[in-house]
Copies of this chain bind each other. A is one copy, B any other.
Protein backbone atom coordinates (compact mmCIF):
# COMPACT_ATOMS: atom_id res chain seq x y z
CA UNK A 1 0.00 0.00 0.00
CA UNK A 2 1.66 3.13 -1.19
CA UNK A 3 0.53 6.60 -1.94
CA UNK A 4 1.07 7.26 -5.64
CA UNK A 5 3.42 9.99 -6.77
CA UNK A 6 0.40 12.15 -7.48
CA UNK A 7 -0.14 12.51 -3.77
CA UNK A 8 3.48 12.52 -2.73
CA UNK A 9 4.85 14.89 -5.35
CA UNK A 10 1.77 17.06 -5.26
CA UNK A 11 1.89 17.62 -1.56
CA UNK A 12 5.57 18.44 -1.69
CA UNK A 13 4.91 20.96 -4.44
CA UNK A 14 2.13 22.66 -2.54
CA UNK A 15 4.33 22.76 0.52
CA UNK A 16 6.90 24.58 -1.55
CA UNK A 17 4.26 27.22 -2.22
CA UNK A 18 3.37 27.30 1.46
CA UNK A 19 6.96 28.00 2.45
CA UNK A 20 6.99 30.93 0.06
CA UNK A 21 3.55 32.16 1.01
CA UNK A 22 3.34 35.94 1.05
CA UNK A 23 6.43 36.34 -1.09
CA UNK A 24 4.87 36.32 -4.53
CA UNK A 25 4.41 33.63 -7.12
CA UNK A 26 6.55 30.59 -7.72
CA UNK A 27 7.04 29.06 -11.13
CA UNK A 28 6.65 25.37 -11.84
CA UNK A 29 10.19 25.27 -13.06
CA UNK A 30 11.49 26.55 -9.74
CA UNK A 31 9.52 23.91 -7.86
CA UNK A 32 10.60 21.19 -10.25
CA UNK A 33 14.20 22.17 -9.65
CA UNK A 34 14.01 22.28 -5.90
CA UNK A 35 11.93 19.14 -5.48
CA UNK A 36 13.55 17.18 -8.31
CA UNK A 37 10.25 16.45 -10.00
CA UNK A 38 9.55 16.55 -13.72
CA UNK A 39 8.29 19.93 -14.81
CA UNK A 40 5.79 18.34 -17.17
CA UNK A 41 4.46 16.05 -14.52
CA UNK A 42 3.95 18.91 -12.11
CA UNK A 43 1.92 20.74 -14.71
CA UNK A 44 -0.62 17.94 -14.57
CA UNK A 45 -0.91 18.18 -10.84
CA UNK A 46 -1.26 21.97 -10.76
CA UNK A 47 -4.02 21.76 -13.31
CA UNK A 48 -6.11 19.91 -10.76
CA UNK A 49 -5.13 22.19 -7.91
CA UNK A 50 -6.06 25.26 -9.88
CA UNK A 51 -9.45 23.90 -10.89
CA UNK A 52 -10.15 23.09 -7.28
CA UNK A 53 -9.26 26.62 -6.23
CA UNK A 54 -6.32 25.70 -4.04
CA UNK A 55 -3.86 27.68 -6.09
CA UNK A 56 -4.15 30.68 -8.35
CA UNK A 57 -2.11 31.00 -11.49
CA UNK A 58 -0.39 34.12 -12.71
CA UNK A 59 0.20 33.81 -16.38
CA UNK A 60 2.69 35.43 -18.66
CA UNK A 61 6.34 36.22 -18.20
CA UNK A 62 7.54 35.80 -14.61
CA UNK A 63 4.27 34.14 -13.83
CA UNK A 64 3.72 31.25 -11.51
CA UNK A 65 1.42 29.94 -8.83
CA UNK A 66 0.27 31.24 -5.47
CA UNK A 67 -1.77 29.64 -2.75
CA UNK A 68 -5.30 30.94 -2.73
CA UNK A 69 -5.74 30.59 1.02
CA UNK A 70 -3.45 30.88 3.96
CA UNK A 71 -1.46 27.68 4.67
CA UNK A 72 -3.13 27.23 8.01
CA UNK A 73 -6.50 27.01 6.31
CA UNK A 74 -5.53 24.19 3.95
CA UNK A 75 -5.37 20.62 5.17
CA UNK A 76 -3.28 17.79 3.80
CA UNK A 77 -6.57 15.96 3.37
CA UNK A 78 -7.83 18.46 0.81
CA UNK A 79 -4.68 18.31 -1.25
CA UNK A 80 -4.54 14.55 -1.28
CA UNK A 81 -8.15 14.22 -2.34
CA UNK A 82 -7.95 16.87 -5.02
CA UNK A 83 -4.94 15.20 -6.55
CA UNK A 84 -7.12 12.15 -7.05
CA UNK A 85 -5.53 10.02 -4.41
CA UNK A 86 -8.03 7.59 -2.95
CA UNK A 87 -7.73 6.45 0.64
CA UNK A 88 -9.99 3.53 0.05
CA UNK A 89 -7.90 0.52 0.98
CA UNK A 90 -10.68 -1.63 -0.42
CA UNK A 91 -13.07 -0.58 -3.16
CA UNK A 92 -16.24 -1.25 -1.27
CA UNK A 93 -15.51 1.05 1.64
CA UNK A 94 -16.71 4.37 0.28
CA UNK A 95 -19.87 2.72 -0.98
CA UNK A 96 -22.46 2.04 1.69
CA UNK A 97 -22.68 -1.58 0.75
CA UNK A 98 -20.86 -4.32 -1.12
CA UNK A 99 -22.02 -7.28 -3.16
CA UNK A 100 -20.35 -9.96 -1.06
CA UNK A 101 -20.57 -8.27 2.28
CA UNK A 102 -22.12 -11.41 3.69
CA UNK A 103 -19.02 -13.52 3.23
CA UNK A 104 -16.60 -10.75 4.09
CA UNK A 105 -15.38 -10.16 7.61
CA UNK A 106 -12.79 -7.55 6.77
CA UNK A 107 -14.96 -4.52 6.16
CA UNK A 108 -14.97 -3.17 9.70
CA UNK A 109 -11.18 -3.28 9.76
CA UNK A 110 -10.76 -1.35 6.52
CA UNK A 111 -13.20 1.22 7.72
CA UNK A 112 -11.33 1.76 10.94
CA UNK A 113 -8.06 2.12 9.07
CA UNK A 114 -9.51 4.61 6.67
CA UNK A 115 -10.88 6.65 9.54
CA UNK A 116 -7.56 6.76 11.29
CA UNK A 117 -5.78 7.90 8.15
CA UNK A 118 -8.37 10.56 7.48
CA UNK A 119 -8.10 11.80 11.03
CA UNK A 120 -4.39 12.46 10.62
CA UNK A 121 -4.80 14.10 7.24
CA UNK A 122 -7.66 16.31 8.32
CA UNK A 123 -5.91 17.63 11.40
CA UNK A 124 -2.72 18.51 9.59
CA UNK A 125 -2.53 21.87 7.84
CA UNK A 126 0.14 23.00 5.46
CA UNK A 127 1.27 25.45 8.11
CA UNK A 128 1.81 22.60 10.58
CA UNK A 129 4.01 20.87 8.07
CA UNK A 130 5.99 23.99 7.24
CA UNK A 131 6.60 24.56 10.93
CA UNK A 132 7.85 21.02 11.42
CA UNK A 133 10.06 21.37 8.40
CA UNK A 134 11.62 24.64 9.51
CA UNK A 135 12.30 23.22 12.93
CA UNK A 136 14.35 20.47 11.33
CA UNK A 137 16.32 22.57 8.89
CA UNK A 138 17.01 25.32 11.41
CA UNK A 139 18.35 22.89 13.96
CA UNK A 140 20.58 21.54 11.23
CA UNK A 141 22.15 24.54 9.59
CA UNK A 142 21.25 27.40 11.88
CA UNK A 143 18.42 28.71 9.75
CA UNK A 144 18.32 30.03 6.24
CA UNK A 145 15.80 32.89 6.26
CA UNK A 146 16.31 36.13 8.14
Copies per assembly: 2
Residue in B105, B120, B140 whose beta carbon sits within 8 Å of that of A113 in the complex: B120
Q: Report whether over half of chain A's contact residues are helix, strand or loop; otherwise say mixed.
A: helix
Residue in B4, B15, B90, B137 whose beta carbon sits within 8 Å of that of A3 in the complex: B90
Q: What is the CA–CA distance of A116 and B100 in the complex, to the nearest angstrom? A: 28
Residue in B1, B15, B120, B137 whose beta carbon sits within 8 Å of that of A87 in the complex: B1
**5 tightest A-B contacts by CB?**
A105-B133, A116-B116, A15-B105, A108-B132, A3-B89
Q: Using a CB–CB distance below 8 Å, which chain A residues touch chain B?
A: 1-4, 7-8, 11-12, 15, 19, 34-36, 76, 85-91, 100, 102-106, 108-110, 112-113, 116-117, 119-121, 124, 129-130, 132-133, 137, 140
